[in-house]
Amino acid sequence: MDGWIKLHRKIYHSDIFTHEGMLKLFILCLLKATHKKTTVRISGILKTIELNPGQFVSGRHSLWEDYHQIRLKKSKPRKKPIPTDRTLFRWLITLKNMQVLSIKSYNKYSIITVLNWNQYQQDVHQVSNRIEEKCAKLSIKKVNKKSLISDSCNDGNVRVDHQHSKKSARFVHKQEGSINTKPVFACDFFEVAQKQDVAYQDAFPGLDRDAEYKKMVAWLESNPTKRPKKQYGRFINSWLSRACEKKKDAFADWRSELKPI
């Protein structure tokens, strides 16, 4: 028996849950039922038996063996374990009267059908199929994204240094006709969009921002233990602010060194 089954929580409030032996028998029926259309053969019968989802073929003695897992045990028990095959068949009739199962008996076997199988169990396989479809769609999206990136690199819209190591910084400079979402500067640590770069230009006028971005990358590569784990926007803003203050201090020192004529 492969695969898995679903057990609805409403069974907790049913009469089956109050009887341990009958609960085990009901779960055994769920495990033995087939989840798709199939055919089986029984020794002594030439004609194959067709089964629909939720059905399985069993007999009184074989059901008793499956209930006690006689076939899985290495040695047969000396005493016949209880409940007996008659008791199991009586429980099976009780489940039938509760409209949980239906039994169609023949001379050498019986076909047992779990009622409402499609309502409680069929969704299991539909969900698995949906998961497989989602995974296939995601893989297709990834392939399309990679192809778009390679096409843009071939067109010359983005310049990427493929020979550079992965750990080192890769720069993407501003191109003509770029939109606000395109990065003006990008590396392995952070990206600066065009809109943000314009904001930095207004806040820190006269500062060579491209040179400062490269200094930031060099500092981050040289100080791996001091790198910020997140909030690189705050790091960039603080760096540019300090660079602007240093520039002002250098200009003030140069003016103080001037002597009056």
User: What are the tens digits of pLDDT across the range 42-89?
Assistant: 887 888 899 999 999 998 888 988 898 887 776 676 677 888 989 999
Instruction: Provide mean pLDDT across the span 105-121.
Output: 88
The Cα–Cα gap between 208 and 219 comes to 17
Q: At what angle do helices 194-203 and 209-222 cross, to 10 degrees?
A: 110
Quote the tokens at residue 126: 């539909």
Indicate the length of the chain as a whole number.
261
35/170: higher pLDDT: 35
The Cα–Cα gap between 236 and 214 comes to 11
Instruction: Provide mean pLDDT across the span 19-43.
Output: 90
Please, what CATH class does the domain formed by 9-120 belong to?
mainly alpha
- Residue-range domain boundaries for the chain: 9-120, 155-257
CB–CB of 49/42 below 8 Å? yes
| H/E stretch holding 40 | strand 38-40
Helices (H), 58-121: 60-68, 85-97, 117-120
